Structure 1
Amino acid sequence: MRKARKRKHNPHIPTHIDQAALPAAVYFDHRKGAGLWYTSHMDENGKQRRRNIAPADVSLAELHRIMEESSNVDRGTLRYICQQFHLSDRFKKLAPKTRDDYCYSRDVLLNIPTKLGVPLGDLTVRKFSPALVQRIVDRLADEGTPSKAAHALRYLRRVLQWGRNRGFLDVNPALGIEAPIERKRRRLPAHQVLEDLLDRARAFGRLARNEKGGCPEYLAYVMEISYLCRLRGIETITLTDAHELPEGVMTNRRKGSRDNIVRWTPRLRAAWDGAKAYRAQVWERRATAIPIRADRRYIVVASHGGPLRKSSLDTAWQRFIKSSIEDGTITAEQRFGIHDLKRRGITDTVGNRADKQEASGHRDESMMDVYDLSLPLVNPSAD
């Protein structure tokens, strides 16, 4: 354990403590009650975090013991490997939502109790077996949370593979584990429900933000464009003037889907021009500098004039749906997500499954089982 640098005398430290003999990185906070001892460290995001370690009346020998135990971390435990993974560049390059999901899964796994009387995070990963990992996944799924179990398994599989590639363990016991069956949420909003919510979004979008039931004006345009162009929410809010072509709207699909051009219709043109008119109002009100490049001019903008973030769209949508349920526009059973507008749009596309697959941009025909929920009209087997 490294020696502490010479400290200045702190009059608030209890008199029974020899300040010259304090271990490094241990500090005393006198502002809370009788005071307490704490230490600090850097988390996986590079931010300094505080950890309280002892009350004010603890002895100097106890402080040294606490710091020695914290410095002599077992490099073979799951907790240590997770810590190193979260400090790695591989983790820092992940998308923010993926990092948040991994942090949640890490906390779930590390705190699982075991028969040894210690949490799972304190066990040595070299002693992990596929049977142990399967029991953990099955236990989480049996608790009624198969989605949590699936997320935990994906995280554990990735962390252990990262650790295996860096010599922390020889074999990844999470490979080949049976994943729990997650509940499928393939919601298809009814046409009347969609029309009612569109009318409400148009009406309440004109209200001030502090008025009851008010919602962002851009919400109606996002709904229309997502439905008509069969787009995800993130694909809609990242459309720019560069995607506006004489023939129609050129899509910017994610996850390997093929782009296509959605032909102009009066309804699509009205939604597109409405979003641009709202953008012009916001830019004028905020005195926003208009980007010269067409691919920097987003069709849908936030109330501050800048690009609309996906997290902001999700928050606005949840508030909109909650208020719609409260005022009776829809029932709780009729609620759906932004992504379900894509499913409604694909289902409503005229033509056979091949036509719908081409319109949606999906490369795999099996995705039609997920997004096309229409019932085909067929002839009887005999006249």
Structure 2
Amino acid sequence: MTTPPRKRGRRRGHNPNIPGHIDQSKLPDNIYFDHRGRGNWYTLYTNEGGRRVRENIATAKATLAELHKISADRQSNQRNTLHALGQRFMQSDQFLQLARQTQDYYRYGRKTIEAYPTRLGKIGDLEPRRFSPALIQRIVDAIAQENRPSKANAALTYLRRVFRWGMNRDYCSANPASGVEPAKERKRRRLPEAITLARLAQFCEQRGQIRPTGDGSLAPYLWAFIEISYLCRLRLIETLTLTDANAQDEGVLTNRRKRSRNNVVAWSPRLREAWAAATAHRAEVWRKRSRATPMTPANRPLFVSRSGDALSRGALTSAWRRMMLRAIEEGVITEEERFGIHDLKRRGITDTQGNRHDKQEASGHRSASMLDIYDLSVPIVKPSHD
């Protein structure tokens, strides 16, 4: 939490509601009085989300000297804490120019580390000079021992970044997070069973037909999203950014990332049905919103939100999370059968018929080592001797 920098502007006007024992001409900056109820002094600050937030700091009985002391203490504390350093970083151009997913990851790491309790108080309230590699290592190890290694590494990644940013701008003298060992994360290569995927797709198709405000409804695009991701072996972002331009005469032209090769996934009755369902849902949304259909195929996203705009990653992951929770609650799948969006690609590659060359050609991977991460099938081989 930081106090906004002092701005030059017009002088305060006289406020008849301020208690008479206060000399209004000597009030500290960014301190205001709310006369409602018994009266409260308050201040405003900008949180990490960029929103202006109010915080009450004293009652109406506070003296002018007490208000100045509160203001000075807040400014001193806010200038010299990890929380204040993080606030400056997240308001900087260096942070704002990062990809949204990276920003969210840093926010997650910040929230984790600042709330962590120690004998010295919450980590976020400590001064940067009080941090040491040993202290950070103990925190990382402790979080990892709670069976949360990825959470521990998110906190460590954030600390490394914010201390480096602060050191380069003279907000702190060193980067104590440099050299700290990260937690060892388990490799999670989940492979949903074919029957589990089928049950879930059927569940999404049924619940997607319920009106959005109806009880038990799910996002109507989820079923088609699952089918297309699985059949075309696509990552989340690759399915999300499909447009009508990807629909070729021969099949679906993929738009793979991470230097994978594009290919055309030939049409099948199942793929055509899913694609048609997605375009039908889009047409219905655009009709309700009275939106014109773009002339250029590349400007017609396959998946759209309720507003008619291209579906965002955040909206999709939220819908997926709600769907998973509801499927578990209603016994469609168990907690152990739960899987992520990216696992659809792993299931699709594993189910691809043919040898390793065929699977690598279908997945678009440039190396056999990358294929090993996704292809979890067990080859059937002949015995060493008849």
Distance change >3 Å, CA 36–CA 233, structure 1 → 2: same
The answer to whether 1:100 aligns with 2:120 is no
The answer to whether 1:236 aligns with 2:239 is yes
TM-score (norm 1): 0.89
Matched with 2:180 is: 177
- Residue 277 of structure 2 aligns to which amino acid in structure 1? G
Instruction: Give the CA deviation at 1:277.
Output: 2.8
- Residue 11 of structure 1 aligns to which amino acid in structure 2? P
- Residue 26 of structure 1 aligns to which amino acid in structure 2? I
Identity %: 53
- Residue 44 of structure 2 aligns to which amino acid in structure 1? S
Deviations 1:347-372, CA, capped at 9 Å, x for gaps: 11123334323322334543334322
In structure 2, distance between residues paired with 1:307 and 1:4: 42
Deviations 1:194-236, CA, capped at 9 Å, x for gaps: 2222223223322222333322332211111000011122321
Matched with 2:302 is: 299
In structure 1, distance between residues paired with 2:138 and 2:73: 30
Matched with 1:197 is: 200
- Residue 177 of structure 2 aligns to which amino acid in structure 1? A
Given candidates 365, 371, 375, the residue that maps to 2:374 is 371
Deviations 1:141-170, CA, capped at 9 Å, x for gaps: 223322221110111111122223334455
- Residue 258 of structure 1 aligns to which amino acid in structure 2? R
Instruction: Give the CA deviation at 1:16.
Output: 2.8
RMSD: 2.7
Distance change >3 Å, CA 53–CA 258, structure 1 → 2: farther
Given candidates 312, 315, 320, the residue that maps to 2:318 is 315
Matched with 2:32 is: 27
* SS of aligned partner of 1:194: helix
Cα contact 1:4–1:25 (8 A) shared by 2? no
Cα contact 1:4–1:23 (8 A) shared by 2? no
- Residue 39 of structure 1 aligns to which amino acid in structure 2? T
Matched with 1:339 is: 342
In structure 1, distance between residues paired with 2:147 and 2:171: 33
Matched with 1:282 is: 285
Cα contact 1:44–1:83 (8 A) shared by 2? yes
Deviations 1:231-283, CA, capped at 9 Å, x for gaps: 12232121001112223212122344332222222322222233223323333
Given candidates 161, 164, 167, the residue that maps to 2:167 is 164
In structure 2, distance between residues paired with 1:80 and 1:282: 44
Matched with 1:7 is: 12
TM-score (norm 2): 0.88
Instruction: Give the CA deviation at 1:63.
Output: 0.7
Distance change >3 Å, CA 360–CA 167, structure 1 → 2: farther
- Residue 227 of structure 2 aligns to which amino acid in structure 1? E
Given candidates 24, 31, 49, the residue that maps to 2:53 is 49
Distance change >3 Å, CA 279–CA 75, structure 1 → 2: closer
Cα contact 1:222–1:233 (8 A) shared by 2? no
- Residue 100 of structure 1 aligns to which amino acid in structure 2? D
Cα contact 1:137–1:153 (8 A) shared by 2? yes
**Structure 2: where are the runs of 5+ without partners?**
none
Given candidates 320, 333, 336, the residue that maps to 1:330 is 333
In structure 2, distance between residues paired with 1:326 and 1:74: 44
- Residue 81 of structure 1 aligns to which amino acid in structure 2? L
Query: Number of residues paired by the alignment?
Result: 381
Given candidates 17, 40, 45, the residue that maps to 2:44 is 40
In structure 1, distance between residues paired with 2:82 and 2:325: 40
Instruction: Give the CA deviation at 1:77.
Output: 4.3
The answer to whether 1:216 aligns with 2:219 is yes
In structure 2, distance between residues paired with 1:66 and 1:25: 11
Distance change >3 Å, CA 147–CA 289, structure 1 → 2: same
The answer to which of 156-165 and 82-91 deviates more is: 156-165
- Residue 383 of structure 2 aligns to which amino acid in structure 1? P
Matched with 1:81 is: 85
In structure 2, distance between residues paired with 1:162 and 1:261: 44
Cα contact 1:5–1:24 (8 A) shared by 2? no
The answer to which of 80-89 and 289-298 deviates more is: 80-89
In structure 2, distance between residues paired with 1:306 and 1:74: 40
Matched with 2:62 is: 58
Distance change >3 Å, CA 382–CA 265, structure 1 → 2: same
Distance change >3 Å, CA 331–CA 288, structure 1 → 2: same
